[in-house]
């Protein structure tokens, strides 16, 4: 199958999923025109990074660390015998306005975002290969190649964060209400929390006394 046929097959699966609300319906339909241009740019970026090297995608890895009681688990987007590539898409934003919904494209970052650098540092360490982080939008893509120094620092920061979370679990004995006393309240409007159920959001608001 060609790219368009594969995309159509995937869209048919997505279309069978019930819409959350009118906004979800609008965004899902409006997003379709941006998919194929984005896919084509992803392919260009992959070719630029890997050339003719055979690659595989989405392999699970887990890294055990002496200071952590559970492994860190991830999935490598693209990898060859010599390189790994972490892909981050920057889809358009759809915001409601007086005439319906407006669309705006996210800007390419000037540098790798810290959380993406931490994630990539895990994969690079797992096999000791060259690491790349790629951002792609429907209009352009940008390839970053972090230095080993940057990767090492990001990995250490990630481990320290994981240790703090581990300590919170230990102190609270897994009780979310106790743990919340030591954690800054979350911004529940952030897209990170978009998958929370109404019940989960209600519980979070009660725990952190969010009005």
pLDDT band at 138 (very low <50, low <70, confident <90, very high): very high
Q: Per mean pLDDT, which range of 138-147, 163-172, 202-211 is the poorest?
A: 202-211
The pLDDT tens digits for 35-64 are: 999 999 999 999 999 999 999 999 999 888
- Whether 105 contacts 90, CB under 8 Å: yes
> For the chain, what is the mean pLDDT?
91
pLDDT at residue 77, rounded to an integer: 97
**CB-based burial label for 189 (10 Å; 0-12, 13-18, 19+):** exposed
pLDDT at residue 98, rounded to an integer: 75
pLDDT at residue 76, rounded to an integer: 95
How far is it between the farthest Cα atoms of the chain? Answer: 56
Residue 100 reports pLDDT greater than 80: no
The pLDDT tens digits for 13-25 are: 999 999 888 888 8
**In this structure, what DSSP letter does residue 184 have?**
P
Q: Which residues contact 178 (CB under 8 A, 6 or more apart)?
A: 171, 172
Relative to beta strand 93-97, strand 72-79 is unpaired
The pLDDT tens digits for 153-195 are: 999 999 999 999 899 999 998 888 888 888 888 888 887 888 8
């Amino acid at each position: 199958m060609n790219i368009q046929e594969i995309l159509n097959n995937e869209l048919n699966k997505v279309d069978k999923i019930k819409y959350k609300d009118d906004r979800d319906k609008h965004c899902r339909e409006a997003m379709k025109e941006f998919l194929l241009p984005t896919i084509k740019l992803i392919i260009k970026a992959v070719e630029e990074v890997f050339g003719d090297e055979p690659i595989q995608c989405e392999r699970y890895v887990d890294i055990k660390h002496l200071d952590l009681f559970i492994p860190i688990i991830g999935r490598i987007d693209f990898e060859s015998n010599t390189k790994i590539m972490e892909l981050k898409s920057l889809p358009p934003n759809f915001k409601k306005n007086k005439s319906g919904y407006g669309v705006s494209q996210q800007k390419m970052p000037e540098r790798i975002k810290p959380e993406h650098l931490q994630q990539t540092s895990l994969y690079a360490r797992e096999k000791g290969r060259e690491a790349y982080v790629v951002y792609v939008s429907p209009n352009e893509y940008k390839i970053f190649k972090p230095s080993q120094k940057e990767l090492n620092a990001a990995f250490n920061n990630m481990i320290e964060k994981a240790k703090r979370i581990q300590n919170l679990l230990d102190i609270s004995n897994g009780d979310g209400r106790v743990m919340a006393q030591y954690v800054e309240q979350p911004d529940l409007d952030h897209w990170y929390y978009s998958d929370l159920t109404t019940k989960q959001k209600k519980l979070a608001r009660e725990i952190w006394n969010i009005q």
